[in-house]
Structure 1
Amino acid sequence: MAGRRQSPGPRQSPGSQTSLRKRNQQRIVEALVKVGASTQADLARRTGLSTATISNIVSHMAENGLVSLTPTTASGRRATSVRLLSSNGTVAAGIGFGRRHLRVVLVYPDYTIVAEESIALPPKYDPRVGFDLARDLLGDLLERTGISWDALSGVGVGIPGSIDRRDVMPVIGTVWAEWAFVDVVVELEDRLGGIPVVLDNDANLGSVAETIWGPHGHVTNLVYLKVGSGIGAGLILNGMPFNGATGVTGEVGHVQVVADGQACRCGNRGCLEAEASITAMLDRLSAVTSITTTEELVAAAKAGDVAVIRVIEDAARMIGRVVGDLASILSPEIIVLGGPLAALGDTILEPISRAFARHVLPLVRDATEIVASTLDDRGEALGAAALVFHREAVRVL
């Protein structure tokens, strides 16, 4: 097994010129992948950056092979068309690890989905077994599409837990016990023959996917709320993913909602995750029903099972209260519910919305839309593939 990666170099302060350039370049990249080739004037309008800033950054990107610049005309005047390129290959792979499933996708630099596949995994699987399966599934997709391994720009990976960006390791207390102390990047790069791997948590990647493949591309402030065996939030603030100082952001699942409530894996009691996750719902139902899986829970709710709907509504009220607190701080334009329960639509959205409305100012309530994701279980893998292109675009700065 390969040794530990070298620690990263000196960090750039959030307000440094390098950090600002990276943020601005990422805004340009996101605009280009959403609408395709654009003139510099169009990019200025879409990003809010000055034309001088756009010109400087795209020139730098062109020098590093990240974009192509082509003379064109716009409104009868000479202009320059900017098109995003992939500097190391033609396709990115995204791998999403769920509690009981694995999804792999292939995506072109313009975010066209080339191919995707999902398989079931056993409960509490060994992550290393999952890595082997992911490698094999990725190989199958490449063979099926006729794409060579050499064409991969990189592989993005999403796991259900926060990542400490200082050492790129899962954060204990936010991740399942099986993933603790697992160096995901090293393990997967070993299996993939050194192809670069980038890593983030599932909620963060879900938020990125919503801004690209969801119907919310115009939104610059978005919260993606992932409700599954755990509960977490991915944040898009001012058009950019927000990761904080360490990468541990959006951990709404570890906000206490019941004093001295159920024990949580983080070590506290009464956390939202311990009280309102799908695992908590199934535990509550175990005494009165034979439902033991998420699929059975969703099916029973759709069939109108009174006990199941009551448990879901109780959990939804707690979720709505916590999300209301989050919205009071961030004031997002939209909150997207992801995870398996998104398929329930109004059955879960209505109690969340009612609780949300009771815990925010009327202005925030009226300005915030709460909707269900349309990406099913694809968001995390898609967001992981997008992460490859985002990282590739800013790595040279």
Structure 2
Amino acid sequence: MTSAPGSLESLRSRNRLRVLETVQQRGAITRVDIARTTGLSRTTVSSLVTELLSEGALSELAEPLASSPGGGRPATLLALNPGGGGVLGVHLRHDGVRVVLADLSGQVLGERQRTIDVDHRPADSLAYVADAALELVADWGRGMRRVVGMGVAVSAPVQRVSHALRNPSMLRDWGDVDIAARLRERVGVPVHVGNDANLGAIAEWTFGVGRGADDLIYVMLSDGVGAGLILNGRPYEGAAGAAGELGHVTVVDGGYVCRCGNRGCLETVVGTRALVAAVAHSRGPDTTLADVVELAVAGDPGCHRVVADAGRTIGRTLSGLCAVLDPKLVIVGGGIAAAGAPLLDGVREVLARRLPPAISQGVVVTASRLGDHAEVLGAVALATRRTSAHLLAPS
């Protein structure tokens, strides 16, 4: 029986999840800091932590802090118990699928991936996800009932309430596909769906370079371009779940037609196809993004220029967003981010020129720490956050 939304049982369940989310995001944290972060009373936190420790969802780290804020006995750090269960993460890119099994701390235990035309082959893509997930759990050897859930990152906006793809979706062949229902039927665990750029932001905030930053923008540069926002210590998805669609901001009047139907979107200028096309006329039709990145890093003048120009265009698009939101970090991820300095310096150059000094001097532009695993690890974090805490109890 599901508890009523306003019942004491429902309130306690929500508070348990708040504690788990806080521990997950911080990595290691004391009871006092959990209370300070969540706003819950110390008595409530102490009761919930005791419960979660007994269930195996949390564990106490071997070495406590050297001293406690008020003196006396050293404070003990709490962390998610890696052995408390497994979590499946999926990234449905435009051109391929990645599936991982991770523990509750985000450590990847196994991985499968395949190149496939995801945009136009939903049935094949989901069949592969289900088969790969079942194989990973079988190899793990602890059984499906120890898997607390599955998160799925998709390259399209996702509705906030239903977590279904917005209709009409930019993945047009997926418009009537209930991803969560199909995978739940095949795999047998709770399934949660989110936009890949949003989940990349959550991953960097939870496991990566953004840990400890309450205000950040994550920019995902791949076939498409997206942004994920963490504002005031919370993921921000907007009123309709479509916040962060940076790739569909117009940057060239009358430019190429984008898959969204508009002309001159950022995606048509700095996405994978645009960058490869800019180099292919001199390097040949078999040029890949990996070639562009490798040559740019090696100092090839043409590729260096293409990547640096992309960085400047991204910086121009970000400047208005940064002026409004005043983030602490801009994290650049996705396949193109591997080009490093030429791309990042282009972003920094334009932000320094276009933003008021009070903002430009405070924002740090940095590369993703998680690389091409950011989105799938964000899916892992999503599943952990959305799954009821009681499922994390040991067998």
Compute the TM-score of the two structures, normalised by the length of structure 2: 0.83
- After TM superposition, the structure 1 = structure 2 runs for residues 161-310 of structure 1, keeping only pairs within 5 Å, are 161-172=156-167, 175-192=170-187, 194-291=188-285, 292-310=287-305
Inter-partner Cα distance in structure 1 for 2:126 and 2:376: 14
Shift of 1:92: 0.9
Q: Which residue of 2 aligns with 1:140?
A: 135
Shift of 1:357: 1.6
Q: Does 1:358 align with 2:349?
A: no
Residue 331 of structure 2, aligned match among 293, 313, 336: 336
Q: Which residue of 1 aligns with 2:72?
A: 76
* Higher helix proportion: 2
Q: Does 1:152 align with 2:140?
A: no
Query: Which amino acid is the alignment partner of residue 188 of structure 1?
Result: L
Inter-partner Cα distance in structure 2 for 1:363 and 1:313: 25
SS of corresponding position for 1:118: strand
Q: Which moved more, 1:225-234 or 1:253-262?
A: 253-262
Q: Which residue of 2 aligns with 1:367?
A: 362
Deviations 1:242-292 (A, max 9, x none): 122221111111111112222112221111112221222233344443154
Q: 1:67 to 1:115 in 2, by over 3 A?
A: closer
SS of corresponding position for 1:153: strand
Identity among equivalent positions (%) equals 33
Gaps of 5+ in 2: none
Q: 1:216 to 1:129 in 2, by over 3 A?
A: same
Q: 1:218 to 1:312 in 2, by over 3 A?
A: same
Shift of 1:108: 1.9
Aligned residues of 2:311 and 2:342 also touching (Cα < 8 A): no
Q: Does 1:56 align with 2:44?
A: yes
Shift of 1:18: 12
Inter-partner Cα distance in structure 2 for 1:216 and 1:20: 30
Residue 33 of structure 1, aligned match among 24, 29, 33: 24
Query: Which amino acid is the alignment partner of residue 268 of structure 2?
Result: A
Q: 1:68 to 1:141 in 2, by over 3 A?
A: closer
Q: 1:148 to 1:26 in 2, by over 3 A?
A: closer
Gaps of 5+ in 1: 1-9
What value does the CA root-mean-square deviation take over the aligned residues?
3.6
Query: Which amino acid is the alignment partner of residue 253 of structure 2?
Result: A
Inter-partner Cα distance in structure 1 for 2:123 and 2:373: 22
Inter-partner Cα distance in structure 2 for 1:221 and 1:245: 19
Inter-partner Cα distance in structure 1 for 2:192 and 2:50: 23
SS of corresponding position for 2:283: coil
- After TM superposition, the structure 1 = structure 2 runs for residues 120-135 of structure 1, keeping only pairs within 5 Å, are 120-122=115-117, 124=119, 126-135=121-130
Shift of 1:139: 2.1
Aligned residues of 2:157 and 2:165 also touching (Cα < 8 A): yes
SS of corresponding position for 2:387: helix
Inter-partner Cα distance in structure 2 for 1:325 and 1:18: 44
Q: Does 1:118 align with 2:113?
A: yes
Query: Which amino acid is the alignment partner of residue 300 of structure 1?
Result: L
Q: 1:260 to 1:151 in 2, by over 3 A?
A: same
Q: Which moved more, 1:250-259 or 1:36-45?
A: 36-45
Shift of 1:318: 1.4
Inter-partner Cα distance in structure 1 for 2:280 and 2:57: 56
- After TM superposition, the structure 1 = structure 2 runs for residues 318-337 of structure 1, keeping only pairs within 5 Å, are 318-337=313-332
Aligned residues of 1:69 and 1:83 also touching (Cα < 8 A): yes
Inter-partner Cα distance in structure 1 for 2:318 and 2:15: 29
Inter-partner Cα distance in structure 2 for 1:26 and 1:332: 26
Q: 1:327 to 1:26 in 2, by over 3 A?
A: farther
Aligned residues of 2:137 and 2:143 also touching (Cα < 8 A): yes
Aligned residues of 1:62 and 1:69 also touching (Cα < 8 A): no
Compute the TM-score of the two structures, normalised by the length of structure 1: 0.82
Shift of 1:218: 1.6
SS of corresponding position for 1:350: helix
Inter-partner Cα distance in structure 2 for 1:289 and 1:68: 53
Aligned residues of 2:250 and 2:266 also touching (Cα < 8 A): yes
Q: Does 1:389 align with 2:389?
A: no
Shift of 1:390: 0.7
Aligned residues of 2:294 and 2:339 also touching (Cα < 8 A): no
Inter-partner Cα distance in structure 1 for 2:321 and 2:373: 25
Aligned residues of 1:173 and 1:267 also touching (Cα < 8 A): no
